């Protein structure tokens, strides 16, 4: 795996520092006072890319929470660009009624906006008290920059990245840094 890495875009230390900052902001925004005494949130991570980010983020959040996962496919197999988003119902554990819930959607990367758009529309139909979004990475491209998100850990250039939960053909998720791959690894995808 290490031989496939072209360069480290964001190292694990920078990720850790940024997650400390991000968790502090989220905790302040979603505290009991900020949520009208509710003091509880429902996190909706989008599988599978967000799991590492989610795990590290929730350990930093001193808020009462539940987790309700959604599975959305947009980068099947060896794709390096979105093929359109679709919800995988069999893996999605989202109640039909969210009327008493403050929701925080957690995703790995924002590029086309199709995944978050689909997820947000699905959740809004279930009438949450509030709906916020948090992404690990946002590409600095018009489609991503024009999509409104509440929390962004890092803005990155329009490059294909893996590591820290992000994959190529289901590999590289376990890398602790966010990296680019050598072109020959995914050429022809």
Which residues does 50 contact at the CB level (< 8 Å), separation at least 6? 106, 107, 108, 136, 165
Catalytic residue among 111, 150, 155, 170: 111
Query: What torsion, rounded to 10 degrees, do the Cα atoms 188, 144, 180, 182 define?
Result: 20
Question: Residue 167 in contact with residue 78, Cβ under 8 Å?
Answer: no
Check if 4 is active-site.
no
Give the orientation angle of helix 51-58 with respect to helix 12-29, to 10 degrees.
Answer: 60
Which residues does 90 contact at the CB level (< 8 Å), separation at least 6? 71
Torsions phi, psi for 90 (to 5 deg) = -65, -20
What is the C-alpha end-to-end distance of the chain, expressed in Å?
A: 18
> Active-site positions?
111
């Amino acid at each position: 795996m290490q031989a496939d890495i072209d360069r480290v875009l964001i190292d694990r230390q920078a990720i850790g520092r940024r997650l400390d900052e991000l968790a502090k902001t989220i905790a302040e925004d979603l505290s009991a006072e900020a949520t009208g005494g509710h003091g509880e949130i429902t996190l909706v991570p989008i599988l599978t890319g967000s799991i590492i980010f989610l795990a590290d983020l929730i350990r930093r959040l001193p808020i009462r929470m539940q987790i309700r996962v959604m599975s959305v496919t947009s980068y099947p197999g060896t794709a390096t660009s979105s093929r359109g988003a679709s919800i995988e119902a069999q893996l999605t554990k989202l109640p039909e009624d969210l009327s008493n819930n403050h929701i925080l959607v957690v995703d790995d990367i924002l590029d086309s906006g199709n995944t978050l758009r689909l997820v947000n529309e699905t959740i809004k139909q279930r009438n949450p008290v509030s709906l916020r979004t948090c992404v690990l990475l946002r590409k600095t491209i018009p489609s991503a920059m024009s999509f409104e998100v509440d929390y962004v850990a890092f803005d990155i250039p329009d490059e294909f990245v893996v590591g820290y939960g992000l994959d190529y053909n289901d590999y590289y998720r376990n890398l602790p840094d966010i990296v680019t791959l050598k072109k020959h690894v995914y050429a022809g995808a």
